[in-house]
Chain A
Amino acid sequence: MASVSVSTTLNTDEVEFLCQADETLLDVLRNRLGLMGAKEGCGTGDCGACSVIMDGRVVCSCLVLGAEAQGKTIETIEGMAQGSELHPLQKKFIEHAALQCGVCTPGFLMAAKALLDANPSPTEEEIRFWLAGNLCRCTGYDKIVRAVADAAAEMRGEAS
């Protein structure tokens, strides 16, 4: 099978890569571009561990073809911190102990970032339903929901 040549914007950088036509964006990120933050928990769109943001929307990168990234803007967990300054969500996840094993964390952070980008003051219910596409088997979600709510408050400039 001939390779496809793709140009995309990845974490604000212009990036070009070759991939097979049937290769997923997740495989491209992990195997060709060395970005291993997105995880494969299922490969079928059911766990959210592979979540990235494409043109502002959370997508399961296991369900997107690498070729579909052409001309798009992709954000992954590796681009979330600004230099050594963590995103408020990243800080709050650590502070609230919102991760145990942490394998779901990159996906949750991507999904939560897209939520707060779209809705700076989500209710608990909105947080829970927005994050319902991301599975976490360790935490029971309690501390994740609190971390997201607290990060939202901090980003709104409210003291936590």
Chain B
Amino acid sequence: MSFDAEFRNQQFKSVGSRPLRPDGIDKVTGRARYGADFNMPGQLVGRVLRSPHAHARIVRIDTSRAEAVKGVKAVVTAADLPDLTNGDAELLHILDNCMARTKALYDGHAVAAVAAIDAKAAREALKLIEIEYEVLPHVVDVDAAAQSDAPLIDETLFTGGVEPKPAKPSNVANRSEFGHGDVDAGFAQADVIVERSFRTEQAHQGYIEPHACVASCNPDGTADMWVCTQGHFVYRQICADLLGLEVSKLRVTSSEIGGGFGGKTHVWAEPVALALSRKAGRPVKLVMSRDEVFRASGPTSATSIDVKIGARKDGTITAAVAHLRYTNGPYPGMWAELGAMTSFACYDLENVKTVGYEVLVNRPKVAAYRAPSAPMAAFAVESAIDELAGKIGMDPVAFRIRNAAKEGTKSSYGPVYGPIGIGPTLEAAQSHPHMSAPLGPNQGRGMACGFWFNFGGQTCTDLNVNADGTVTLAVGTVDVGGSRASLSLIAAEELGIAYDDVKAVVADTATLGYNDMTDGSRGTFSSSMATISAARNAIDVMRHRAALTWDIPVEDVVWEDGHAKARGENYGNLAPLSVKDIAAESGKTGGPIAGHSELVADGAGVSFATHICDVEVDPETGATRIIRYTVIQDAGKAVHPSYVEGQYQGGAAQGIGWALNEEYIYGEDGRLQNPGFLDYRIPVCSDLPMIDTQILEIPNPNHPYGVRGVGETSIVPPLAAIGNAISNAVGVRMSHIPMSPPRIRAALDGGAGS
């Protein structure tokens, strides 16, 4: 059935209110079950052995002594995960990352795993696995890895995206380019040019719940998995491909998820758990330790970025260029490409060019982290924009407003924008009381903008009207932060019933059609679209049932305010039928009532934000405190404003941590020095002020209610907003993230930003 997704301006009854979330009670009473909170009869404990070397050839593995340990039921290595990827390089990289095949490519790379009756036996067995390594030279630094004399991570890799094909292999996996116009001509027209290089260090998503799963392979070739993931359908597909299972035979249930932020969109240990279970013939529970989470799962890229922007004295940007080098870990990705696409997306530019380089290094495989790749590019660009405004003598907000993208602007990455929120967020910032509040000594104010695309994608939803008129909504997008509440509001709105009459659940892979991940801020956007579509289909069924009850043509039955109503003069005495009325009779009028929907949610509206931040820098220690923070972002339509605010605040806090503290620190030996929350310090409660939010609503024309994704953009501006604030507080331009006390001290001493 075709679905009309066009935005229709309407008065909302449910959408925009703030009801209690349906999973709240479970989560405040300890009853909610996360990845590690599930057990199966006869379950074994799985443990993974990891490489202590950043780069080493695996010469020999001997597992015999480990297998002999009492209580050990299976030991697996790469030999137990044969290559079934059929020439699919990306899939092979996932397999190799789950279990090193010929080389260990980073400190923490899995090389073997055991399943035993308890943790003690498993630990003992790990110690008895003998591995002979031939240690190879390694490289962890992005710029060093891009040099032609760097140790090669993959000897068969030639830089893609360049013509002609290079003669020598390289750690630069790919080059991508975006832009339009003539940047040389643009710079020739500039009165002032700012050119600067920036670096950002690698940060981790830092979800509090480590990766966890329980895998169970059965003798008949079927398998079950319980797992914390942002996308159980995608995990099913990848695990089935890697293990040679038919997709229908692997049933994956997503647990409650204790944070993901992109890090739980990639499989890590799940195929290993399945391989262990297959070999042992028993269910296996595999839970990562925090050390493993840091060493072996999802950090973002470290980057090195050069930016050059020119403007006329009147404040018009004439040309902008960025070269962006992003670490990918040991396998090719598209992280620099995303950085190159997002760099200048906030601005309306005549001449713009961005070039991204994907750089392989001996660090864990990079995973998405909330608006992946955009914060680093925004740090570089928004710092340079601020500096340029200063040189021209313009207010930084006014300068940005003058150059802001608007409806009809050809974006720097290609598409032409529809109605967008960058201008409105800037204007809201300009008139926000925060902008004119007084500042004390050593304090400074900064602001910056951010952009994220947002995604839509494949989505499938079931809406069942129960006999008592209440509604069960089964969705396939994992609820990472309140989407069951939002989607219940959407169903209630479309059907015209009370929020409390809708119960949303996340269905497993056997009970609903395929759904893409909850990523790209798509959860509420795409599932709300599918929910509206499913509700409209259910309404059609209910109109037919009412027509049958009244014995009138269905064309004469309309749906209004949660009721079927007979339209036309002849039907004056027919009382409207509510959902409850119709549901109560459903057994007699044709059976159960349901609405189903499967669609590709197109038209995710792009998202923009402007952040304002006040800092106080202690010039003696170089320590920075955030004393006030304001997030202004376009939500399209805030379905449940409390959870929209929560996304804004959470993203800002993650950005603050990254800006001031968080970084992967490697030793000379290529080993990660700080794989724990003590030394990789994320913001705690006493580090932060309240985070004020202002929600703007510029409707997305491609969604019936105007909804845009809201989850990611909030992490994009903080790095630059804080850098700009520090610059205004103590007069040094910071160019290296995190802006930790030693870096600020060094900048104060030497005037350089690193």
Q: Which of A1-51 contact B (CB under 8 A)?
A: 20, 30, 35-44, 46-47, 49
- State which of B30-38, B99-107, B465-473, B615-623 sits at the interface with chain A: B30-38
Tell whether, in the assembled complex, residue A44 and residue B290 are in contact, meaning their CB atoms are under 8 Å apart.
yes
Question: Taking the complex as formed, is A123 at the interface, i.e. its CB lies under 8 A from any CB of chain B?
Answer: no
Q: Does A119 contact B (CB under 8 A)?
A: no
**Residues A86 and B688 in contact, CB atoms below 8 Å apart:** no
On whether the beta carbons of B259 and A103 are closer than 8 Å, the reply is yes
With A44-B290, A44-B677, A97-B482 as given contacts, are A139 and B646 in contact (CB-CB < 8 Å)?
A: yes
The answer to whether A99 and B27 touch across the interface, beta carbons within 8 angstroms, is yes
Contact B646–A100 (Cβ < 8 Å): yes
Q: What distance in Å separates the Cβ of B88 from its nearest Cβ neighbour in chain A?
A: 32
Q: Which residue in B30, B209, B653 is a CB contact (below 8 Å) of A77?
A: B30
Residue A105 interfacial (CB < 8 Å) = yes
Query: Interface range on chain A: under 10, 10 to 19, 20 to 34, or 35 or more?
Result: 35 or more
CB proximity to A under 8 Å, residues B669-684: 676-678, 682-684
- Among residues of A, the one whose C-beta sits closest to the C-beta of B260 is A101
Indicate which residue in B23, B207, B650 contacts A139 across the interface (CB closer than 8 Å): B650
On whether the beta carbons of A41 and B678 are closer than 8 Å, the reply is no
Interface string of A66-87 (1 = CB under 8 A from B): 0000000000111011000010
Name A101's contact: one of B290, B480, B652 (CB within 8 Å).
B480
What is the minimal beta-carbon distance from B353 to any residue of chain A, in angstroms? 36
Chosen A-B contacts, 9 in total, with CB atoms closer than 8 Å, are: A35-B30, A41-B208, A81-B29, A90-B29, A94-B20, A97-B643, A97-B645, A100-B259, A102-B28
Tell me the complex Cα distance, A100–B649, Å. 11
- Would you give the 0/1 interface string for A90-114, flagging 1 where the beta carbon is closer than 8 Å to chain B? 1001111101111111100100000
Contact (Cβ within 8 A) A106 B482: no
Q: Is the CB of A37 within 8 A of B29?
A: yes
- Chain A residues lying within 8 Å of B642, measured Cβ to Cβ, are 96-97, 143
Once A101-B481, A132-B685 are accepted as A-B contacts, the answer to whether A86 and B208 lie under 8 Å apart by CB is no
Q: Are B208's CB and A103's CB within 8 A? A: yes
Which residues of chain B have C-beta atoms less than 8 A from A103's C-beta? 34, 207-209, 256, 258-259
Contact A40/B30 with A46-B678, A47-B208, A128-B686 known, Cβ cut-off 8 Å = no
Pair count A-B, CB < 8 A: 177
B746 within 8 A of A: no
> A100, B207: Cβ atoms under 8 Å?
no
Contact flag A105-B28 (CB < 8 Å), given A41-B210, A137-B259: yes
Contact A99 B24 (CB under 8 A): yes
A130 to B528, CA, bound (A): 39
Contact A80–B29 (Cβ < 8 Å): yes
Give the chain A neighbours of B27 by CB distance below 8 A.
99, 102, 105
> Could you give, for residues 634-666 of chain B, a 1 whenever the CB lies within 8 Å of some chain A CB and a 0 otherwise?
000000001101100110111000000000000
| Closest residue of A by beta carbon distance from B27 | A102
Are B480 and A100 neighbours in the complex by a CB distance under 8 Å? yes
Known pairs A40-B36, A95-B20, A132-B685; A102 contacts B258 (CB<8 A): yes
Whether B677 pairs with A135 at a CB distance below 8 angstroms is: yes
CA distance A132 to B205 in the complex (A): 19
Given A90-B29, A137-B259, 4 extra CB contacts under 8 A: A41-B209, A42-B676, A103-B207, A103-B209
Which chain A residues border B120 with CB–CB below 8 Å?
Answer: 20
Report the Cα distance A93→B290, complex, angstroms: 26
B interface with A by C-beta (< 8 Å): 18, 20-21, 23-25, 27-34, 36-37, 120, 205-210, 256-261, 287, 289-290, 480-482, 642-643, 645-646, 649-650, 652-654, 676-678, 682-688, 690-691
Would you call B208 and A104 a contact (CB within 8 A)? yes
Give every chain A residue within 8 A of B678 (Cβ-Cβ).
Answer: 44, 46
Q: Known contacts A102-B256, A102-B258; is A140 also within 8 Å of B649 by CB? A: yes
Per the bound structure, the CA–CA distance linking A101 and B480 in Å amounts to 6
Chain B residues, CB < 8 A from A96: 642
Shortest CB distance A119–B (Å): 15
Cα distance, A128 to B652, chains bound together (Å): 18
Instruction: List the B side residues contacting A37 at CB < 8 Å.
Output: 29-31
Would you give the shortest CB distance from B696 to chain A, in whole angstroms? 19
- Of A35, A38, A139, most buried by chain B (CB within 10 Å of CB) is A139
Looking at the complex, which one of A42, A109, A138 makes contact with B28 (CB distance below 8 Å)? A109
**Chain B residues, CB < 8 A from A137:** 205-208, 259, 261, 650, 654, 682
User: Within the complex, what minimum Cβ distance (angstroms) separates B639 from chain A?
Assistant: 13
A153 to chain B, nearest CB (A): 17
The docked-state distance in angstroms from the alpha carbon of A117 to that of B206 is 31
Q: Which residues of A, 102-152, contact B by the 8 Å Cβ criterion?
A: 102-106, 109, 125, 127-129, 131-145
Measured between C-beta atoms, what is the minimum distance from B691 to chain A in Å? 5
Residues of A within 8 A of B210 (CB): 40-41
**A100 near B650: Cβ-Cβ < 8 Å:** yes
Whether A101 pairs with B257 at a CB distance below 8 angstroms is yes
Task: State A100–B34 Cα separation when bound (angstroms).
Answer: 13
Q: How far is the CB of A50 from the nearest CB of chain B, in Å?
A: 11
Q: Distance in Å from the Cβ of B427 to the closest Cβ of chain A?
A: 24
Is A39's CB under 8 angstroms from B258's CB?
Answer: yes
Which of B29, B206, B207, B480 has its CB near the most chain A CB atoms (within 10 A)?
B29
Distance in angstroms between the alpha carbons of A140 and B259 in the assembled complex: 13
B290 surroundings in chain A (CB, below 8 A): 41-44, 46-47
How far, in angstroms, from A78 to B151 measured CA to CA in the complex?
54
**In the bound complex, what is the Cα–Cα distance between A95 and B36 (angstroms)?**
27
Q: How far is the CA of A140 from the CA of B656 in the complex (A)?
A: 10
Instruction: Kindly provide the distance from the CB of B499 to the nearest chain A CB, expressed in whole angstroms.
Output: 14
Contact of B643 among A36, A46, A100, A104 (CB under 8 A): A100
CA separation between A158 and B686, bound complex, in Å? 26
Given A43-B290, A128-B686, decide whether A38 and B30 contact each other with a Cβ distance below 8 A.
yes
- CB-based contact B28/A128 at 8 Å: no
Task: State in angstroms the CA–CA spacing of A109 and B23 once bound together.
Answer: 16
B677 & A46 in contact (Cβ 8 Å cutoff)? yes
* A133 surroundings in chain B (CB, below 8 A): 684
**B28, B642, B652 — most chain A CB neighbours (10 Å):** B28
Contact of B36 with A138 in the complex, beta carbons under 8 Å: no
Q: Select one of B208, B257, B480, B684 contacting A39, CB under 8 A.
A: B208
Q: How far apart are B479's CB and chain A's nearest CB, in angstroms?
A: 9
Interface centre among B20, B120, B289, B684 (most CB of A within 10 A): B684
Bound-state Cα–Cα, A143 to B645, Å? 9
